């Protein structure tokens, strides 16, 4: 369908090729998302919440209608993409994608809250409105760069995370047997001791749980040093990935046939 294809080009045009209606649409969408984030923050200020309660509600209603129409359009036009070409299973696959789920979470709480009577549930659902802020990331070059780096370095990142978890379990287990006799309430179990382990390895040091025995203090110092080294691993992996991507983007493009710079 020509209409569907036209709408697809307007909504899904890549960042570097946005022109005309596509540029206007993306600027409008980013503006509404930004205003939503400001409204969510300002609505928690009692003075503004009481004075402009009607304005906040009207803007929320307008935003939900806008995002609902946009979400429905995206589900309708997604079949123009080769990944979602099947009229039914393609749309189902798109709806279950991470991007579509975030879009759905941005509007679903409003409709659920219309039927919810528990105020606690309504407050929790309102919190999900902050997911609208994640939508602005898909139009950001920096976000796409970060996503590409994480995808390429996911094996190294998972390996470093596993090392951190293993070290946390080992340190917490040893500390439990060292400190439990002296502080049975603070270090009551290995899972409880893991809270101390996270604080020590991250060098946060809340101080609510801390060792008092000489051996426990030595172990705490070792944990802090190891934590700095372990948490530096994913940082180095990401820095390496960013460097590779930036170097590739700045490298001159050459013709594969004649070797001349493009």
Query: Does domain 152-250 sit in CATH 1.10.287.70?
Result: yes
Report the chain's mean pLDDT, rounded to a whole number: 83
Question: Taking a C-beta distance cutoff of 8 angstroms, is the pair 79, 91 a contact?
Answer: yes
The span from the CA of 237 to the CA of 244, in Å, is 11
List, by residue range, all CATH 1.10.287.70 domains of the chain.
152-250
Q: Which CATH class is domain 2-139?
A: mainly alpha
pLDDT at 16 over 60: no
The neighbour count for residue 47, using CB atoms within 10 Å, is 8
Q: Is the pLDDT of residue 195 over 80?
A: yes
Q: What is the pLDDT of residue 101?
A: 87
Cβ–Cβ under 8 Å, residues 46 and 5:
no
N- to C-terminal Cα separation, the chain = 36
Tokens for 73, please give them. 């359009």
In the predicted model, what is the mean pLDDT of residues 187-202?
92
d(CA 51, CA 103): 30
Record the pTM.
Answer: 0.64
254 DSSP β-pair partners:
261
- Higher-pLDDT residue of 23, 188: 188
Q: Where in the chain is the domain with CATH 1.20.120.350?
A: 2-139
Separation of alpha carbons 57 and 129, rounded Å? 13
Q: How far apart are CA 166 and CA 106, in angstroms?
A: 36
What percent of the chain shows pLDDT beyond 90?
A: 29
Is there a contact between 213 and 179 (Cβ–Cβ < 8 Å)?
Answer: yes
Q: Which of 28-42, 119-133, 224-238 has the lowest mean pLDDT?
A: 119-133
């Amino acid at each position: 369908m020509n209409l569907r294809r036209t709408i697809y080009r307007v909504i899904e045009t890549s960042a570097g090729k946005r022109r005309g209606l596509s540029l206007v649409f993306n600027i409008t969408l980013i503006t509404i998302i930004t205003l939503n984030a400001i409204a969510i923050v300002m609505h928690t200020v009692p003075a503004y919440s009481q004075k402009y309660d009607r304005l906040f509600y009207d803007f929320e209603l307008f935003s939900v209608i806008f995002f609902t129409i946009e979400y429905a359009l995206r589900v309708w036009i997604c079949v123009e993409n080769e990944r979602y070409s099947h009229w039914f299973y393609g749309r189902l696959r798109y709806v279950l994608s991470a991007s579509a789920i975030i879009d759905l979470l941005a509007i679903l709480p409003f409709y659920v809250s219309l039927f919810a009577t528990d105020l606690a549930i309504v407050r929790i659902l309102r919190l999900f409105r902050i997911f609208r802020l994640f939508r602005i990331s898909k139009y950001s070059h920096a976000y796409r760069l970060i996503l590409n780096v994480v995808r390429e370095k996911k094996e190294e990142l998972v390996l470093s995370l596993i090392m951190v978890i293993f070290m946390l379990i080992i340190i917490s287990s040893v500390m439990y047997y060292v400190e439990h006799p002296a502080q049975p309430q603070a270090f009551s179990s290995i899972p409880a001791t893991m809270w101390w382990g996270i604080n020590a390895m991250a060098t946060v040091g809340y101080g609510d749980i801390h060792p008092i025995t000489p051996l426990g203090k030595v172990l705490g110092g070792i944990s802090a040093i190891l934590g700095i080294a372990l948490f530096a691993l994913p940082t180095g992996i990401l820095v390496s990935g960013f460097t590779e991507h930036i170097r590739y983007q700045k490298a001159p493009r050459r013709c594969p046939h004649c070797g001349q710079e493009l």
